[in-house]
């Protein structure tokens, strides 16, 4: 396994382009299971997770090829309805093949995804929605087995104890597009990645309204055809790059940004006194001002994204004052706290809260990545710290950030890879 070494203290300067959104790509690739016709997806980031999803599609009967950001998916041998544990367990997002398999083949056998370090990650809302559409569901030997003679439209309330669910909304939407009749999903997730999936389904011939709002209406159709689609920019990568410029006191032009997908983050950074300037479809971020600590509470979109919590904690750990960070989506998503404290941060965990007392600067240290966004937070901390930071288990980082080292090096960062 590799580790990433970062010599901190360099002010990032220059231009960087945001890649396609991982969390849009994954359900959109799953949606290709809803047709036997060819699909082409453009702007696909070259990520570990992208290739994991392609590996899931192939045993399900697809020929799926990735070539420089372009994925083509065509029908291969006879479709198969079983998604194996050994593949699903490598990436929980692959659970979103359940809806399209059931929609297209009227049966599906998908391994239950495990939990992960950020939380238990239940799938009760996925199963509630699929059952409401008329599927018989059983759990056997770690698999969800779903079958139906015919899916029918339904009114489905999909809100859970933590609010809406992104992938449950995706799964139910993909099962409903070929169901007979009208489906209404109440308390649907509003994330831009859900909207991008809906837009792809509409290009395939689906009838969907209300995507991006808490009420999505779907009129089932008989058949979906192939489509060509370009993925939206990754708002979490964009947010991470914004914080990289701020935490190093840099001056970075971030290109390919959907400004309105970053509302909650930009609002918080305005409150902290950061200087962000829109330059067309790009964002110029200058980290030359002393920032104020702000309090963060993560919420479903359009609230502050949980996937930016660790990164914001790193920025607050070197910002004067006290910042209270409350995690309302994954109350245990604090694996990065101990690692940041190893770098000299003053962070105290209190249940779903982390109290961050900002200090002048962090000191580089050997730290360990635990999940995708925690590792992003550690990279930001390393960029700002005095001395060298080595981050082990960086395969977590490679799951969601395309060419992150190259992008940071192009901005002047002293970053390199070593064998563990
Ligand atoms: C998506 O995961 C993202 N992954 C996650 O990003 C992101 O953190 C999460 O949404 C929240 O925004 C992808 O899109 C591939 P949820 P998802 O269902 O859909 C609870 C990253 O770093 N819940 O919206 O699995 C759940 O426990 C990843 O890119 C239920 O209770 O998350 C959580 O507390 C990490 N029952 C809350 O809902 C269910 O059936 C939101 O989870 C499903 C979820």
Q: For the segment 41-100, what is each residue's pLDDT rounded down to a tens digit?
A: 999 999 999 999 999 999 999 999 999 999 999 999 889 999 988 888 889 899 999 999
Q: How far is CA 357 from CA 253, 304, 341, 416, in A?
A: 30, 20, 11, 30
Residue 118: what pLDDT? 80
Instruction: Among 21, 129, 165, say which to mutate for ligand 1: greatest number of ligand atoms within 8 Å of CB.
Output: 165
Q: 230, 265, 288 — which closes off a domain? A: 230
Q: Which residues contact 262 (CB under 8 A, 6 or more apart)?
A: 235, 238, 239, 242
Distance of CA 384 to the CA centre of its chain: 24
Residue 71 host element (H or E): strand 70-75
CB of 128 within 6 A of ligand 1: the answer is no
Same domain, 210 and 332: no
User: Is residue 124 within 6 Å of ligand 1 at its C-beta?
Assistant: yes
- pLDDT, residue 115, reads 66
Is the minimum distance from the CB of 160 to ligand 1 under 6 angstroms? yes
Q: With a 6 A CB cut-off, is 400 part of the ligand 1 pocket?
A: yes
- Which residues, other chains included, contact 60 with Cβ-Cβ below 8 Å and sequence gap of 6+? 33, 79, 80, 81, 82, 83, 97, 101
Q: Whose CA is nearest to atom 42 of ligand 1?
A: 165
Quick one: 350 and 210 in the same domain?
no
Nearest CA, atom 21, ligand 1: 307
Domain-ending residue, one of 199, 230, 261: 230
Helices 192-203 and 166-176: crossing angle, nearest 10°? 10
Q: Which two tokens stand for residue 265?
A: 């983050």
Shared domain for 123 and 244, answered yes or no, is no
CA gap 412, 215 in Å, rounded: 45
166 CB near ligand 1 (under 6 Å): yes
Do 279 and 223 belong together in one domain?
no
Residues in the chain: 420
Q: Is 412 in the pocket of ligand 1 (CB under 6 A)?
A: no
Tell whether 332 and 348 lie within a shared domain. yes
**60 C-alpha to center of ligand 1: Å?**
24
Residues 224 and 271 in one domain: no
Identify whether residues 290 and 404 lie together within a single domain. Answer: yes
Residue with CA closest to ligand 1 atom 5:
307
Atom number in ligand 1 closest to CA 167 = 19
Structural domain total, the chain: 2
Distance 55 CA to ligand 1 centre (A): 22
- Which residues are identified as catalytic? 116
**Do both 134 and 247 map to the same domain?**
no
pLDDT lower than 70: segments of the chain? 114-115
Q: Give the integer Cα–Cα distance in Å for 3 and 417.
A: 6
Q: What angle do CA 261, 263, 264 make, to 5 degrees?
A: 120
Ligand 1 atom at minimal distance to the Cα of residue 305: 12
Residue 125 Cβ contacting ligand 1 at under 6 Å: yes
pTM: predicted TM-score of the whole model, two decimal places: 0.97
DSSP for 77-102?
Answer: SS---EE-HHHHTT-GGGGGGHHHHH
Last residue of a domain, one of 197, 230, 263: 230
Residues 211 and 278 in one domain: no
Q: Is 23 in the pocket of ligand 1 (CB under 6 A)?
A: yes
pLDDT given for residue 374 in this prediction: 95
Which residue segment(s) compose the domain that 74 sits in?
Answer: 22-230
Distance (angstroms) between ligand 1 centre and the Cα of 308 equals 13
Distance from the alpha carbon of residue 86 to the mean position of ligand 1, in angstroms = 21
Q: Give residue-wise pLDDT tens across range 166-189.
A: 999 999 999 999 999 999 999 999
- What is the CA(77)–ligand 1 centre distance, in A? 32
Q: Do 273 and 216 share a structural domain?
A: no
The verdict on 226 and 262 lying in the same domain is: no
Which CATH number is 123's domain given?
A: 3.65.10.10
Residues 308 and 346 in one domain: yes
């Amino acid at each position: 396994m590799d580790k990433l070494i970062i010599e901190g203290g360099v002010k990032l300067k220059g231009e960087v382009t945001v890649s396609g959104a991982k969390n849009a790509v994954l359900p959109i690739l799953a949606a290709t299971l809803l047709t036997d016709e060819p699909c082409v997806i453009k702007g696909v980031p070259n990520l570990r997770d992208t290739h994991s999803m392609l590996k899931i599609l192939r045993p399900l009967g697809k020929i799926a090829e990735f070539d420089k950001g372009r994925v083509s998916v065509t029908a291969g041998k006879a479709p198969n309805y079983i998604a194996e544990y050994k593949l699903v367990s490598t990436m929980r997002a692959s659970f979103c093949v359940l809806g399209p398999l059931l929609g297209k083949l009227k049966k599906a056998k998908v391994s239950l995804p495990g939990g992960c370090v950020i939380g238990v990650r239940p799938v009760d809302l996925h199963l509630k929605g699929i059952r409401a559409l008329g599927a018989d569901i059983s759990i056997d030997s770690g698999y969800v087995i779903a079958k139906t003679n015919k899916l029918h439209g339904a009114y489905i309330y999909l809100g859970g104890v933590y609010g809406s669910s992104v992938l449950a909304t995706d799964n139910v939407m993909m099962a409903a597009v070929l169901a007979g009749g009208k489906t209404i999903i109440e308390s649907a997730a509003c994330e831009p990645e859900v909207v991008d999936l809906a837009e792809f389904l509409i290009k395939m011939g689906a009838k969907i309204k209300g995507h991006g709002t808490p009420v999505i209406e779907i009129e089932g159709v008989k058949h979906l055809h192939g489509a060509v689609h370009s993925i939206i920019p990754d708002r979490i990568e964009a947010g991470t790059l914004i914080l990289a410029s701020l935490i190093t006191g840099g001056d970075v032009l971030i290109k390919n940004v959907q400004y309105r997908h970053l509302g909650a983050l930009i609002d918080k950074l305005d409150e902290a006194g950061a200087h962000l300037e829109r330059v067309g479809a790009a964002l110029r971020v200058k980290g030359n001002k002393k920032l104020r600590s702000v309090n963060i509470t993560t919420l479903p979109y359009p609230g502050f994204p949980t996937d930016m919590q660790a990164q914001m904690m790193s920025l607050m750990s070197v910002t004067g004052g006290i910042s209270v960070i409350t995690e309302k989506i994954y109350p245990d998503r604090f694996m990065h706290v101990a690692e940041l404290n190893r770098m000299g941060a003053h962070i105290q965990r209190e249940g779903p809260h982390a109290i961050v007392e900002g200090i002048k600067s962090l000191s580089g240290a050997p730290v360990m990545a635990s999940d995708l966004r925690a590792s992003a937070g550690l990279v930001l901390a390393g960029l700002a710290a005095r001395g060298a930071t080595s981050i082990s288990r960086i395969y977590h980082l490679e799951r969601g950030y395309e060419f992150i080292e190259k992008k940071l090096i192009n901005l002047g960062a002293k970053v390199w890879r070593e064998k563990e």
